[in-house]
Amino acid sequence: MAEIQLRNVHKRWGSFVGVEDFNLTIADREFLVLLGPSGCGKTTTMRMIAGLEDVTEGEIAIGGKVVNNLEPKDRDVSMVFQSYALYPNMNVYENIRFPLKVRGVDPTTHDEKVMRAADMVELRDFLHRKPAELSGGQRQRVALARAIVREPNVFLMDEPLSNLDAKLRVSTRAQIKNLSHELAVTTIYVTHDQIEAMTLADRVVVMKAGIVQQVGSPTDIYDTPANTFVASFIGSPAMNLIEGEVNGGMFHSEHTLIDGVNLPDGKLVLGFRAEDAWIAQDGEAGQINAPIYTQELLGDAVMISVRIGGALVSVKADKTYRAEIGETVSICVPDTICHHFAADTGARIGE
C-alpha cells in the first residue's frame, strides 16, 4: 500500500516561503496532479516527497511510515524528469536496465523486466539505439520505461511532457494515462499545463505562491472553482471574469447588464465559461452588447471576444458565424450560468 500523507508540510529558505502548511492524503493508486504557474511550489512539494529537498516543518509519510529522514533511494519512489536524464553512452536497453543493476536486483530477471517495460512504452524495436539517435518523444518513453522497470510504490513525474512538441504531448499524455491504469501505482504528476491536469488526474491540487488554492476532481475544479485564481487558471479559454457592481439584483458593468443576481448590493466579480454563453439570435436580448474585439476560427467553433473594462470576454459561436471586428454583438449571459466571486478576496460566493 502506497498511501502518501503530507502533514503540515512547510518549506522555507530563510524568509522565503516555498510551500506553506500543505496538508493532503494521497490515496493508494491515485493519480494526483500538482498544478500551478512557475514558482508556485509544486515541484518543491514533489522534491520533498522524493527526498531531494528537506522538509522545514511537518511530516511526510509513505505507506504509513514517516520518511522525513530517509534517503531518496530508501523511499521506494521512482522519478521521471523533464530533462529525460538518460545516459548518452548507453543504449536504450542499458538505460532501462540501469536501476536494476544499481539496486542489486537478481540479474537473471533483468531481461524479462526490461522487455516488459519496453513493451509498455512501445520501445522494443529501439533497444539497440543510443539516446542521440532517438526523437524527443522516444527519449521521454525511455525515461518512463526506466521508472517502470523498478516497480516502485510511487511514481513522481516532474513536467515530463514540457520538452515535447504539441502533437507528441498529446500522444505521450495518452500513453501515460494508459500506463497509470495498467500499472495501478500511486502517481504524483507536476505540471503547469491545465489540459494535462484535466485529462490525467483523479484529483488536482491547484497551487499559488506555495499555498494550496483548491483540491478536487477535474470536474469539481472546472465546474466550481474556489476563487478567481482557479477560475482564471483552469479552462481553455479561461473563465471570463467581469468586475462590476450589484444593485437591486442587477449586475452592472461596461456594456453589461445581467438580471437575477440575488446577492447584496456592492462590488462583485462575475464569471462564466465561453461555452455556456451564446450569440443572441432571432430577436433575443443579450446581457452584453459590445463591439467585437477579435474573432478566431477554431475549426469546430468561432471564438468571439469583446472588451469589458480591461478584460477580454470570450464566447463560442457556431463555426459558420461571421462578423466584422468593430461590429456590435449581443451575447446572452443568463445568471443561471454565472459564477460569483467576492471583489476583495476573490473567494467563491454561494454553493
Q: What are the structural domain ranges in the chain?
A: 4-232, 237-349
Q: Which of 25, 19, 32 is nearest to 204 (CA)?
A: 32
Q: pLDDT at residue 131 above 80? A: yes
- Mean pLDDT along residues 311-335: 94
Q: pLDDT at residue 37 above 90? A: yes
pLDDT tens-digit map of 236-247: 889 999 999 999
Tell which CATH architecture fits domain 237-349: Beta Barrel (2.40)
pLDDT confidence of residue 136 = 82
Q: Which of 197, 159, 200 is nearest to 181 (CA)?
A: 200
CA dihedral sign, ordered 81, 83, 88, 92: positive
The full DSSP string for 47-58 is HHHHTSS--SEE
Q: pLDDT at residue 105 above 90? A: no
pLDDT confidence of residue 275 = 94
Q: pLDDT at residue 114 above 70? A: yes
pLDDT confidence of residue 1 = 63
Q: Determine if the peptide bond prior to 237 is cis (ω within 30°).
A: yes
pLDDT tens-digit map of 289-304: 999 999 999 999 999 9
pLDDT tens-digit map of 145-198: 888 888 888 989 888 887 777 787 888 888 888 888 888 889 999 999 999 999
Distances (CA, A) of 126 to 90, 112, 172, 245: 12, 16, 17, 62
pLDDT confidence of residue 151 = 80
89: left (phi over 0), alpha (psi -120 to 50) or beta: alpha
Fold matches, 4-232 and 237-349: no
Helices (H), 121-280: 136-149, 166-183, 194-200, 218-223, 228-233
Q: Are 335 and 344 in contact (CB under 8 A)?
A: no
Average pLDDT along the chain: 92
Q: Structure pTM? A: 0.90
pLDDT tens-digit map of 43-85: 999 999 999 999 999 999 999 999 999 999 889 898 887 777 8
CATH class assigned to 4-232: alpha beta
Helices (H), 52-153: 92-102, 110-120, 136-149
Q: pLDDT at residue 350 above 80? A: no
Give the separation between CA 307 and CA 328, rounded to whole angstroms: 11
pLDDT confidence of residue 326 = 95
